[in-house]
């Protein structure tokens, strides 16, 4: 049950609502008083007391609204509830242990644009000192402890002022999506309004319309954590910009020492947020993105993200060249600058390098082709590409989030070439596999040794780690992902494995998840597909 106390000045609308989610916050009163002292515009404060009452009551003020929950609902949910009470154009979320610059609100709004997320320069907050009156000992804020001289209990002396060193205007996240300061990028920032890859998460401003449009506090993350990554990625990938306004500042108190100077929400909550965040961004699952996640990495080129991508293209050279030509041209376009190692059974002129294995077509040969391609590549990540699949550029935007997991893109349509009938179901196919190179090499060495010893069997299967029928020495995990636009698997008379076009042909109906039937003209992201196939059908096989 929530209780809200609304106190606003009559007859005046607000331009900015500052929302303050708070749980077990010792300095909430000092924070609110400091904000009130320094606002200069039509600005209000909406405080959510998430499952607690502060020991010192918040001062009554017409600019302050208080919403109280008897039981905690989590920081993200609390922030959303505060924003629902707002009618202002702009929303600023700020932590309950901060101070702000004089007139920070009007300075921010003066430069704001509707598709931006803006942050002020960040300082550290010196909230208090530990003082022993008996020994005249004074120590900087931290975990409570007895006086190092006499052993008596020390008292808190409230300071509540900003420290201008360090001054932070540039932030990033590493390849595990953990927040990082970025001093090197700070040196490149010129002017008063500067781009930053990410934010710290304790203070940011955007329009209320964008807040809801982008679902800025997505509660699927859990209670709290990953706020800076979420806000930054949603802003950048939707076509906006994240800007640090160096004309103004806020100061934030950092509580990373644990004990009674730790986080207000339970730490296990952040692990859920990080797992959800990595899956959402690294697997390009956010449906409002107009850019893939790799676009953001390429834009800022942060340290530690220099992950290289490569492609192994393997073929038995028995495909109708009309089909293979169309698929190769599309792959060359989609792969962009990624290396392509072509492994064939006859000499070809395709890819950035070529390997010819003069072997007979078969399952063992295909495994050897794949291993040869893996060993020839020198990239971190490898995409498997087959000669009769049309690969969309979106397929190669993917970045695996775990080095010991094999990832399958199950966003694929099966196209029956003879009549243009198209079918989709969630299929984990070898042609959609992406993973780190080293685990793949280990697996294919083991797979080849097993085939040479026992022969190929359906028990082994084609797609590594998609079932547990083989007790592999080198075990890896398996996950699926969906690219923004699908690949198209062309089904023709020369397929090594047969195609199934009816649900009744599947013994286990779980393999028909997502079953959708359509036509060649209606496959999303492939406006030119019919003309490509028509052009191929006009040619005579060579």
Query: Which of 284 and 167 is assigned the larger pLDDT?
Result: 167
- Residue 24, CB-side half-sphere exposure with 13 Å CA sphere: 11
pLDDT of residue 305: 86
pLDDT of residue 256: 63
Token pair for 138: 């004074």
pLDDT of residue 2: 45
pLDDT surpassing 80 at residue 530: no
pLDDT of residue 336: 82
Q: What is the percent of the chain where pLDDT is above 70?
A: 92
pLDDT of residue 542: 42
Q: What is the DSSP letter of 323?
A: H
Q: In CATH, what class is 2-300?
A: alpha beta
Q: Is 309-538 a CATH 1.10.1740 domain? A: no
Q: What is the DSSP letter of 36?
A: H
pLDDT surpassing 50 at residue 214: yes
pLDDT tier at 176, thresholds 50, 70, 90: confident
pLDDT of residue 11: 35
pLDDT of residue 491: 86
pLDDT of residue 266: 63
Q: What is the percent of the chain where pLDDT is above 90?
A: 64
Long-range contacts of 51-57 (CB under 8 A, 24+ apart): 51/23, 52/22, 52/23, 52/24, 54/22, 54/25, 54/26, 54/28, 54/29, 56/29, 57/29
pLDDT tier at 458, thresholds 50, 70, 90: confident
Cis previous bond, 166, omega within 30: yes
Q: What is the 3-state secondary structure (H, E, C) of 230-299?
A: HHHHHHHHCCCEEEEEEEEEEEECCCCCECCECCCCCCHHHHHHHHHHHHHHHCCCCCCCCCCHHHHHHH
Average pLDDT, the chain: 89
Q: How far apart are CA 542 and CA 536, in angstroms?
A: 12
Burial zone of 341 (CB within 10 Å; 0-12 exposed, 13-18 middle, 19+ buried): buried
In the chain, residues under CATH classification 3.90.550.10 are 2-300
Section 354-369 average pLDDT: 95
pLDDT in tens, 262-309: 667 665 567 788 889 988 998 889 999 999 898 999 899 899 888 889
- Residue 235, CB-side half-sphere exposure with 13 Å CA sphere: 27
Contact in structure between 496 and 360 (CB atoms under 8 Å) = no
Q: How far apart are CA 6 and CA 132, in angstroms?
A: 41
Query: Which of 529 and 260 is assigned the larger pLDDT?
Result: 529
pLDDT of residue 527: 80
Section 18-42 average pLDDT: 95
Global pTM reads 0.71
Q: How far apart are CA 260 and CA 142, in angstroms?
A: 8
pLDDT in tens, 131-160: 999 999 999 888 888 999 998 999 999 999
């Amino acid at each position: 049950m929530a209780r809200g106390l609304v106190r606003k000045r009559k007859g005046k609308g607000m331009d900015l609502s500052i929302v303050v989610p708070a749980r077990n916050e010792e300095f909430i009163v000092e924070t609110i008083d400091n904000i009130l002292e320094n606002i200069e515009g039509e600005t209000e404060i909406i405080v959510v007391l998430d499952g607690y009452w502060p020991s010192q009551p918040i001062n009554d003020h017409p600019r302050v609204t208080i919403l109280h929950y008897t039981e905690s609902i989590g920081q993200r949910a609390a922030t959303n509830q505060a924003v629902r009470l707002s009618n202002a154009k702009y929303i600023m979320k700020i932590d309950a242990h901060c101070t702000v610059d004089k007139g920070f609100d009007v300075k921010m709004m003066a430069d704001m644009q509707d598709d931006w997320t803006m942050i002020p320069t960040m300082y550290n907050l010196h909230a208090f000192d530990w003082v022993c009156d008996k020994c005249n000992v004074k120590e900087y804020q931290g975990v409570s402890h007895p006086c190092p001289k006499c052993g008596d209990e020390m008292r808190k002396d409230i300071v509540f002022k900003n420290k201008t060193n360090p001054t932070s205007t540039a932030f990033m996240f590493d390849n595990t999506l953990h927040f990082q300061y970025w001093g090197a990028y700070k040196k490149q920032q010129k002017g008063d309004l500067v781009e930053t890859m990410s934010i710290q998460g304790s203070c940011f401003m955007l329009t209320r319309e964008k807040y809801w449009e982008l679902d800025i506090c997505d509660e699927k993350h859990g209670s709290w954590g990953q706020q800076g990554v979420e806000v930054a990625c949603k802003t950048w990938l939707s076509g906006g910009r994240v800007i640090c306004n160096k004309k103004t500042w806020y100061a934030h108190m950092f509580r990373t020492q644990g004990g009674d100077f730790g986080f207000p929400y339970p730490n296990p909550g952040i692990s859920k947020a990080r797992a959800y965040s990595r899956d959402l961004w690294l697997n390009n699952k956010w449906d409002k993105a107009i850019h893939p996640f790799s676009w953001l990495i390429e834009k800022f080129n942060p340290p530690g993200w220099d992950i290289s991508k490569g492609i192994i293209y393997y073929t038995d050279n028995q495909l109708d060249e009309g089909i293979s030509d169309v698929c190769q041209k599309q792959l060359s376009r989609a792969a962009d600058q990624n290396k392509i190692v072509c492994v064939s059974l006859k000499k070809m002129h395709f890819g950035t390098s070529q390997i010819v294995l003069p072997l007979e077509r078969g399952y063992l040969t295909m495994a050897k082709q794949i291993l040869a391609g893996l060993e020839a590549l020198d990239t971190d990540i490898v995409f498997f590409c087959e000669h009769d699949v049309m690969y969309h550029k979106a397929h190669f935007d993917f970045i695996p989030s775990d080095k010991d997991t094999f990832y399958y893109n199950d966003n694929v349509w099966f196209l029956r070439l003879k009549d243009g009938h198209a079918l989709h179901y969630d299929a984990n196919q070898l042609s959609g596999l992406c993973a780190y190179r080293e685990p793949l090499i280990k697996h294919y060495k083991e797979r080849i040794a097993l085939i040479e010893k026992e022969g190929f069997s359906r028990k082994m299967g084609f797609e590594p780690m998609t079932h547990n029928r083989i007790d592999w020495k080198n075990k890896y995990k398996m996950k699926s992902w969906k690219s923004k636009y699908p690949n198209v698997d062309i089904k023709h008379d020369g397929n090594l494995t047969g195609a199934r076009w009816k649900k009744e042909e599947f013994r286990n109906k779980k393999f028909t998840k997502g079953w959708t039937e359509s036509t060649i003209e209606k496959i999303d992201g492939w406006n030119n597909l019919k003309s490509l196939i028509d052009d191929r059908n006009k040619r005579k096989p060579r």
